[in-house]
Amino acid sequence: MPEILCCFKWLIDESYIRASSSGELDLETVDYKLSNYDRNAIEESVRLQEEYGGTVSAITVGLPDSTKGVKDALSRGPEKAYFINDDSFENLEPSQTAAILADIISSQINYDLIICGEGSSDLYAQQVGPRLAEKLGIPCISYIQKVQIEGDRIVAEKKVEDGIEVISAPMPVLLTVLPDINTPRIPGLKDTLGASKKPVINISKDDLTVSYEAKIHTNAIIAASMERNCQKFGSETEDIANLARALAKEGVIK
Amino acid sequence: MDFRLTEEQELIRSNMREFAETYVDPIAAEIDESARYPAEVIEKLAEGGWMGMPFPVEYGGQGTDYLTYAIAIEELSRSCAATGFTMSVHTSLSLMPIFLFGNEEQKKKYLPPLAQGKHIGAFALTEPGAGTDVGAATTTAVLEGDEYVLNGTKTFCSNGPVADTYVTFAWTDKSAGRKGLSAFIVSKGTPGLKVGSHFMKMGIRASQTSEIIFKDCRIPKANLLGKEGDGMKIAMNCFDHGRIGIAGQSVGITQAALDESINYSKQRIQFGKPISKNQAIQWWIADMATDINAARFLTYHAAWLKDQGQPFTKEASMAKVFCAEMAMKHTVKAVQIHGGYGYCKGFKVERLMRDAKITEIYEGTSEAQRMVIAGTVLR
Ligand SMILES: Cc1cc2nc3c(=O)[nH]c(=O)nc-3n(C[C@H](O)[C@H](O)[C@H](O)COP(=O)(O)OP(=O)(O)OC[C@H]3O[C@@H](n4cnc5c(N)ncnc54)[C@H](O)[C@@H]3O)c2cc1C
């Protein structure tokens, strides 16, 4: 029976981000949420547990005030959570997150299967999963849209450009899942109320073997601006020719 | 003073929001148009534990506080006021009196199926000749051996056609004045209980409203709620609780009106710019947002008082009348912001304006709320 570990990130809900006219982001009044695809990762972990038995734990790295995120994750089914937190864990870049997770997982947690979302809803770097697998020395299968367990192997359907690749790998293995894999259920009241009673294992920076410095530095984040260009054309033959020329000029058609 | 909700309350709010966006938004216009009871949504609410929120787990509930319940009603009503009201009547007017005034046997028997949403509750007080003036009711209950025999006609009974359990009121002693009214639990299928004609309404059309007729309806003596003569007290207590729900419903309706107005006014171009660039529109929207804030705090405060075990009758009435009148005022403005389109089916504000009107009428009209408030303030 598999011991499943799902990774999640508690991050800024992008729908609350406002951009000023100069492109600066206003993060004063934002709210936070579980990264979208991590909901799929948690749901898939719980679904596999329902089908094959075993255990599901959730793990996150973040700021100490992400406790609501831990409750949110637990309300979706995992029976316990590992909460690696420190005031310095703000805006970690993927190499740091993966290294911290690997450090704790390899020293403290038993697992047969680790499930991550394909990418986070903020950066979508798609790196934490593969980097974590690399550090743990286990296989990583990405772009997963369906998964089954057969004996001690995982059989997964990976979405590729023009089709589906069916891959099998021995456990322990790490999967990164696409949103197509399932529809996360909405926690009911009992789930939310029960989440507060589940065990949370707090892990601090002191529990790490070394400290991990950022390899990438973000110098600025500026809102993308979309140039809108509105031109009006009539319906005469000549107008249509003008429309085609204008589209070609903009590079929309060749 | 602490204006923060708990993490749990915030999560419950966002889960209800997601529930409503997933299951209610897609059908809200359809069930309004066809006046259809959304049984499938009520079943889903039941599965999620939403139909018995503020009751102890031992009676099948979830053990939340009343504030959390008010928040859930608000978020559900933001998508569909009729569905929000169905849940609110069930919880505040049917389960609550059984929980607060029922004896252990009654609580064990009636609460679990209701709190789990397997049964639906209704509250039948109003009569054709007795609306605001509850004392003008004429339904009677006569004790014959081990049974009460009920005779009379109740009207405007929400959930009436779909309910399994009714809390109703009848005179056991007409000569005793207010102390002669008693409350009873009546189960669906009791001989002599008939669901009368259904009302076709202006708004909250998916909420089912009907007459309930008692004709020599015999119920066990054990179905008396509280003692003989407790009826008026129980009814007023139901309203105290119910009004917090209606206040929450009104906030939800108005929040939806604001959401729609912001979206539309930013998109609608007239005179070469979005109409939201006009100060007239901005001020309407600013007033809407301000009133919603005030209304929400009145509602949450009344619920908080209830949770603290303090008196909350006056505050529940204040919240109810303020929120209801705010909902009416601003849904009218929201239609105005939408211009001609707002007057037509297909735009949510058209439904919101019709739905808002009822909040000024049921569970005590705005005038009745002012009577309650003045009664305590002038004492
Ligand atoms: C959709 C809907 C659902 C309902 N659901 C339920 C339900 O589930 N259970 C239930 O028991 N009832 C229910 N009701 C009944 C509702 O509570 C009553 O309609 C309401 O209490 C008003 O009573 P009335 O309609 O008889 O109006 P009336 O009492 O006749 O009032 C008419 C007008 O006179 C005003 N008025 C009356 N008395 C005074 C006074 N002394 N001073 C100043 N003004 C006064 C009122 O405010 C109102 O403006 C529902 C009604 C509707 C429309």
**Yes or no, beta carbons of B11 and A75 under 8 Å apart:** yes
Six token digits for residue A207: 């529990």
Class of the CATH-defined domain B233-377: mainly alpha
Q: Ligand 1 atom 26: the closest Cα is on which residue?
A: B131
DSSP-derived pairing of the beta strands A163-170 and A153-160: antiparallel
Helices and strands counted in chain A (H then E): 6, 13
Q: What is the CATH number of the domain that holds A162?
A: 3.40.50.620
Taking a C-beta distance cutoff of 8 angstroms, is the pair A157, A144 a contact? yes
- Could you state, in order of their start, the residue ranges of all structural domains in chain B? 7-115, 121-229, 233-377
- Phi–psi pair at B69, nearest 5 degrees: -65, -45
Total number of domains in chain A: 1
pLDDT exceeds 90 at position A29: no
Mutate to test the interface with B, among A191, A192, A232 (most CBs of B within 10 A): A192
Nearest-atom index, ligand 1, CA of B130: 26
Distant-in-sequence, close-in-space partners of B273: CB < 8 Å, separation ≥ 6: none
Structural domain contains residue A67: yes
pLDDT on residue B293:
98
Q: Any residues with CB less than 8 A from the CB of B83 and at least 6 apart, and which?
A: B24, B28, B31, B38, B41, B42, B76, B77, B206, B207
Could you tell me the two tokens for B365? 């009209």
Predicted ipTM? 0.90
Between A112-116, A139-143, A207-211, B213-217, the lowest mean confidence (pLDDT) is in A207-211
Q: Return the number of other C-beta atoms located less than 10 Å from residue B363's C-beta.
A: 31
B179 CA distance to ligand 1 centroid (A)? 22
Percent residues over pLDDT 70 in chain A: 100
Fold of B121-229: Butyryl-CoA Dehydrogenase, subunit A; domain 2 (2.40.110)
Confidence of residue A89 (pLDDT cuts 50, 70, 90): very high
CATH code of the region B7-115? 1.10.540.10
Per DSSP, the three-state class of A247 is helix
Q: What angle do CA A16, A24, B286 make, to 5 degrees?
A: 50
| C-alpha to C-alpha distance for B98 and B102, rounded to whole angstroms | 5
**Which contiguous run of DSSP H or E holds residue A113?**
strand A113-117
CA distance B253 to B75: 9
Q: Identify the DSSP state of B92.
A: I
User: Which residue out of B126, B207, B210, B238 has the highest number of ligand 1 atoms within 8 Å of its CB and is therefore the one to mutate?
Assistant: B126
B364 Cα–ligand 1 center, Å: 6
- Give yes or no for residue A251 having a pLDDT over 90: no
Domain contains A250: no
Q: Which of B168, B257, B158 is nearest to B206 (CA)?
A: B158
Summarize the confidence of residues A161-172 as an average pLDDT: 95
Higher pLDDT, A19 or A84: A84
Residue B85's closest CA among B326, B324, B302, B322?
B324
Is A249 part of a structural domain of the chain? no
Where do we find the tokens 């789990």? B116
CB A162 within 8 A of CB A174: no
pTM for this predicted structure: 0.93
Joined together, the tokens standing for residue B369 give: 């709320």
Q: Work out the pLDDT band at A223, boundaries 50, 70, 90.
A: confident
Q: Which residues of chain B have pLDDT under 50?
A: none
**Is residue A27 over pLDDT 90?**
no
Q: Which domain holds residue A137?
A: 3-207
- Residues listed for chain A: 254
Tokens 């070394």 correspond to: A210
pLDDT computed for residue A139 by the predictor: 97
The three-class DSSP label of residue B345 is coil
CA B169 to chain CA mean position, Å = 18
Flag whether A194 is in a domain: yes
Express each pLDDT in B69-95 by its tens digit: 999 999 999 999 999 999 999 999 999
What is residue A252's predicted lDDT score, i.e. its pLDDT? 87
